[in-house]
Amino acid sequence: MPQTPMPPMSMFRTAVHPGLWEHKGKVAAVGVGHEGTARRWDGTAENCIGAWSIAACRKAIADAGVNPADVDGIVLDTSTTTGAHWPAGREIPMDVVQKFNQTDDPLDGIAQLSGEWMVKNMPELTNVKYIMTGPGCMSACIVVAAQAIGDGLAHTCLVLKSWHNLDGRYYQGGANAEPTISGNAKWTNPWAGPASLGTATQFQRYMYKYGKSHDMMAPFMQNSRHNGLMFPEGYWAQHRPEELPAEDYINARWVAKPANLFDNDIPIMASAAYLFTTAERARDMKQKPVYILNHARDNLVARGFGGFPTLEECEEACANVGVRLHEGAGIKPDDLSFENMYDGFSLFHVFHLEGLRTHGIGLGDALDAFQGDISISSPFPISPSGGNIGSGRTRFWKHTDCIQQIQGRAGARQISVPANIGVSGGPMPTGGNFTVWGSSPD
Amino acid sequence: MPKQSPVPDALDKPYFDALNEDRLVIQNWTCCQRLQHPPAATCGGCGSNQLQHMSWKQVSGNGTIYSYGVVYDSPIAVLQADQPYNVALIELEEDPGVKMLSHLPGRAVDDVPIGAKVKVIFETTPATGQKVPEWQVVS
Amino acid sequence: MYTERTRGLIWPRTPLHADAGSHSEGFTLELPGGKFLISFDIDGTLELGDPPGRITTEMVQRARDLGFLIGSCSDRSATSQRAIWERMNIEADFIALKHMLDDVKTRFDVHRYLHIGDRDLDQMFAEQAGFDFLWEHEAYTEPWLDWLEGNGAVPASEQ
Ligand SMILES: [Zn+2]
């Protein structure tokens, strides 16, 4: 795949007390564009991940009401996999590939996405000078784009994250099928299992430490799906408009107890793009600007296995993020009107929420909070986006929701309290990226 | 419980050789007086890669159960026949920051006492005969 | 509030005896061809699944009309599975979560049990529960219809 540059680590705010963000209120999100969703790729050119990425970008541009020729930056995640990689030996559908302007890698636009491919296939983007990777997640794309605009590297920037999912059976092949194991996996494979096991051990420790139960997650899961069903761009709203009653959640089979099937989000295909610009330019655009007040990250390195940070390490990382977010945005924890922290695996949400130390929710309190009113009409709505639980594994619903809530465009999901300041981000407590959004630049 | 045989490399060979002699040794970085597992080419404390700072320290084989999960849906073929099975995180007596994984042989599924003392045993993996550490609850 | 015991969640059409075991007196099958039971996975198997499979609503209806006991066994919630049967406008004999095929076997005493699915997990749970298993791509030709003719012989141990 053609190289899309990686951002320098200096773009991420990881200092313990980073101070007020130097670009607070000077960068704004204006346009939003979504394309999809589907459970898996149907093999057609019009539904390949490249086509959906183009469509999402065009919608974001139109939504903001900017001239495509004014777009001078694009930040995207070049990886689009939900876990499904193009199987070795599987024929690449050249009829699909040839419908687009190709790069040197035929999988570009089908199972991955380079900046070069995007620019080549959106001829209306005649002035793109800044192309950068937001590694792994929309959360990272947002930080890189916001910092780039603040730093003057671009003034009108597309922020793009897409996910492909392939058809076919889930073969459990490769190293997992072998009798021996080499490399880093030798430390875990002989014992371990699915990806959610690490989070399961953290949550088990959490229940032990604070005297809680997995059943206490049910109201949060129910609320998340309910909110997701009001997200017309989402998977469940589009394809399976079903609520998730507590008993359905609690009866689901375990994958890695205490993480069940619904705690593991559903992999889907989807694409989302935002249009970011300077606060100054945003004033003349079609939608109300949503100001970026700060971004933050914690790089805590787990002492033990990469996949197994301890609960205490998660709690420390989340608390660090919380302090950094508030300080850098110049707000108090209770200034948050709502929160859209990460939720896939759903159990993460507990750690992220408690890290914010907002609205009286401290360590060990999140599950109790879930037993009260956390809906969009509550004084402090929890995950009004519904997150990955409510709309499928994309890690971007929470960001779209922050933008739309503050713009007053969240439709049926619009929260009752004034949406002044929101927070979103993820995925992991360690190494995730988080953003504070505001209705006012101050 | 049959599991994949880990294949040693140049870095971690002393660890696996010791296991085959029924001894548990942990990588020890003297620059920071820091035990480290899994072993790595650099000290996680200071980043040193100076081999004179690295040694292998034999530990007591005593530990405590920190937490656990129960696996019902493993992608690892050889483990599937034993599903559901326990996976516990064990913290070493010498340094609770060092964690190891265990199936807790002899313990019923989902009957795992967090905080209980455990003792290391050495289990032979079928493919190569390489031994790996396992842990049993001390009654 | 919910215990391990209730995790099975199964929804039989026929009322079961209060303490129905595998051969409960309160539970007998009197359907003309009620010797065979077919469990359908949904996503990737039934045409109403997402993604759609090749087993059509018509095939399911035909199996039911011929006296097969039919139901679904899927990772979808009970709510979701009920919605699928309502959309198909077919009355299911049972609805079960994917890991509860063994429970289905306990509740229905028939000569032959079949699960149809599209994933390794379907095969695994079917084998664990003592069901025959067909991949979706092997099943859309309705090979179970042969069972009524006595072809695809029932193993002697189960006769
Ligand atoms: Zn050191």
From ligand 1's centre to the CA of A348, what distance in Å? 32
pLDDT at C74: 96
What average pLDDT score do residues A215-241 get?
97
Nearest-angstrom CA–CA distance, C69 and A348: 42
Nearest-angstrom CA–CA distance, A134 and A113: 12
From ligand 1's centre to the CA of B40, what distance in Å? 12
What average pLDDT score do residues A59-79 get?
98
Whether the predicted pLDDT of A212 surpasses 80: yes
> Pick from A152, A167, A141, A172: which is nearest to A79 by CA?
A141
Coarse DSSP helix, strand, coil percentages of chain B, rounded to the nearest 5 percent = 10, 35, 50
A254/B99 Cβ within 8 A: no
Tell me, yes or no, if A239 comes closer than 8 A to chain C by beta carbon: yes
A118, part of any domain:
yes
- How far CA C88 is from CA of C36, C83, C92, C145, in Å, comes to 21, 9, 10, 20
Q: How many other β-carbons are positioned within 10 Å of the β-carbon of residue C116?
A: 25
Percent of chain C with pLDDT over 70: 72
A221, part of any domain:
no
Tell me, yes or no, if B114 comes closer than 8 A to chain A by beta carbon: yes
A259, part of any domain:
no
Cβ neighbours of A308 in B, within 8 Å: 89, 99, 101
pLDDT at A168: 59
pLDDT at C29: 41
Tokens read off for A419: 């949406």
What average pLDDT score do residues A346-351 get?
96
Q: Quickly tell me which residue has 């809530």 as its tokens.
A: A405
Whether the predicted pLDDT of C16 surpasses 50: no
Whether the predicted pLDDT of C27 surpasses 80: no
User: Over chain A, what is the mean pLDDT?
Assistant: 95
What average pLDDT score do residues C18-42 get?
57
Nearest-angstrom CA–CA distance, A311 and A264: 19
Whether the predicted pLDDT of A53 surpasses 80: yes
Nearest-angstrom CA–CA distance, A368 and A382: 13
Give the chain B residue whose CA is nearest to the CA of A313: B97
B102/A176 Cβ within 8 A: no
Read off the pLDDT of residues A106-155 as tens digits, 9 standing for 90 and up. Answer: 999 999 999 999 999 999 999 999 999 999 999 999 999 999 999 999 99
Whichever domain contains A107, its CATH number is 3.40.47.10
From ligand 1's centre to the CA of A68, what distance in Å? 52
pLDDT at A306: 64
pLDDT category at C15 given cuts 50, 70, 90 is very low
Tell me, yes or no, if B42 comes closer than 8 A to chain A by beta carbon: no
From ligand 1's centre to the CA of A278, what distance in Å? 45
- How far CA B86 is from CA of A312, B82, B104, B113, in Å, comes to 21, 10, 7, 12
Alpha carbon of C121: minimum distance to chain B alpha carbons (Å): 9
Whether the predicted pLDDT of C6 surpasses 90: no
Q: Which helix (H) or strand (E) holds A341?
A: strand A338-341
pLDDT at A89: 84
A360, part of any domain:
no
Tokens read off for A144: 């890189």
A147, amino acid identity: Q
What's CA A113's distance to the chain center, in Å? 17
A99, part of any domain:
yes
From ligand 1's centre to the CA of C146, what distance in Å? 71
Read off the pLDDT of residues B81-131 as tens digits, 9 standing for 90 and up. Answer: 899 999 999 999 999 999 999 999 999 999 999 999 999 999 999 999 999
* Neighbouring-strand partners of residue A8: none
Read off the pLDDT of residues A392-441 as tens digits, 9 standing for 90 and up. Answer: 999 999 999 999 999 999 999 999 999 999 999 999 888 999 999 999 99
Q: What angle do CA B29, B31, B36 make, to 5 degrees?
A: 25
Which ranges in A211-360 belong to alpha helices (H)?
218-228, 235-239, 246-251, 279-282, 311-329, 348-356
pLDDT at B139: 78
Tokens read off for C140: 């859309």
- How far CA A37 is from CA of A55, B33, C44, in Å, comes to 12, 52, 17
A39/C43 Cβ within 8 A: yes
C121/B72 Cβ within 8 A: no
> Pick from A358, A397, A351, A348: which is nearest to A381 by CA?
A358
Nearest-angstrom CA–CA distance, B61 and B58: 9
> Pick from B24, B2, C64: which is nearest to A179 by CA?
B2
Give the chain B residue whose CA is nearest to the CA of A208: B114
pLDDT at A173: 62
Nearest-angstrom CA–CA distance, A353 and A357: 7
Q: How many other β-carbons are positioned within 10 Å of the β-carbon of residue B90?
A: 24
- How many helices, marked H, and strands, marked E, lie in chain C? 6, 5
- How far CA A327 is from CA of A249, A300, A367, in Å, comes to 37, 19, 26
Reply yes or no: is the peptide bond before residue A345 cis, omega within 30 of 0: yes
What's CA A180's distance to the chain center, in Å? 35
Nearest-angstrom CA–CA distance, A13 and A25: 16
Tell me which CATH code domain C36-158 carries. Answer: 3.40.50.1000
B73/C121 Cβ within 8 A: yes
pLDDT at A417: 98
pLDDT category at C148 given cuts 50, 70, 90 is confident
A172/C120 Cβ within 8 A: yes
pLDDT at C14: 41
Q: Which chains touch B (3 or more CB pairs under 8 A)?
A: A, C
Nearest-angstrom CA–CA distance, A219 and A223: 6
Give the chain C residue whose CA is nearest to the CA of B82: C128
Among partner residues B4, B99, B127, which is closest to A189 by beta-carbon distance?
A: B4
State how many domains chain A has.
1
Greater confidence (C147 vs A118) lies with A118
Q: Output b/e per residue, A51-79; b: 16+ Cβ within 10 A.
A: bbbbbbbbbbbebbebebebbbbbbbbbb
Domain(s) of CATH 2.40.50: residues in chain B: 60-139
Tell me which CATH code domain B60-139 carries. Answer: 2.40.50
Nearest-angstrom CA–CA distance, A400 and A231: 10
Whether the predicted pLDDT of A170 surpasses 80: no
Q: Quickly tell me which residue has 């997200």 as its tokens.
A: A231
Cβ neighbours of A201 in B, within 8 Å: 66-69, 87, 89
Read off the pLDDT of residues B41-88 as tens digits, 9 standing for 90 and up. Answer: 999 999 999 999 999 999 999 999 999 999 999 989 999 989 999 999
Read off the pLDDT of residues A258-278 as tens digits, 9 standing for 90 and up. Answer: 999 999 999 999 999 999 999
Read off the pLDDT of residues C88-125 as tens digits, 9 standing for 90 and up. Answer: 999 999 999 999 999 999 999 898 999 999 988 899 89
Task: Cite the beta strand spans of A103-258 per DSSP E.
Answer: 130-133, 156-163, 180-181, 254-257
Beta strand B85-92 with B99-102 is antiparallel
pTM score, two decimals?
A: 0.92
Structural domain harbouring A62: 9-168+268-282
Read off the pLDDT of residues B17-41 as tens digits, 9 standing for 90 and up. Answer: 999 999 999 999 999 999 999 999 9
DSSP string, C30-80: --TTTTEEEEE--TTTBTTSSS--SB-HHHHHHHHHTT-EEEEEESS-HHH
Nearest-angstrom CA–CA distance, A396 and A134: 13
User: Can you give the residue ranges of every domain in chain C?
Assistant: 36-158
Let me know: does A144 contact A5? Beta carbons within 8 Å. no
Alpha carbon of C69: minimum distance to chain A alpha carbons (Å): 24
Tell me, yes or no, if A40 comes closer than 8 A to chain C by beta carbon: yes
Give the chain C residue whose CA is nearest to the CA of B72: C99
CB-defined contacts B:C, below 8 A: 3
Nearest-angstrom CA–CA distance, B138 and B136: 6
pLDDT at A307: 64
- How far CA A64 is from CA of A55, A67, A112, A125, A126, in Å, comes to 14, 9, 26, 15, 18
pLDDT category at C151 given cuts 50, 70, 90 is low
Q: Quickly tell me which residue has 């709510």 as its tokens.
A: C79
What average pLDDT score do residues A192-200 get?
90
C77/A252 Cβ within 8 A: yes
Let me know: does C152 contact C139? Beta carbons within 8 Å. no
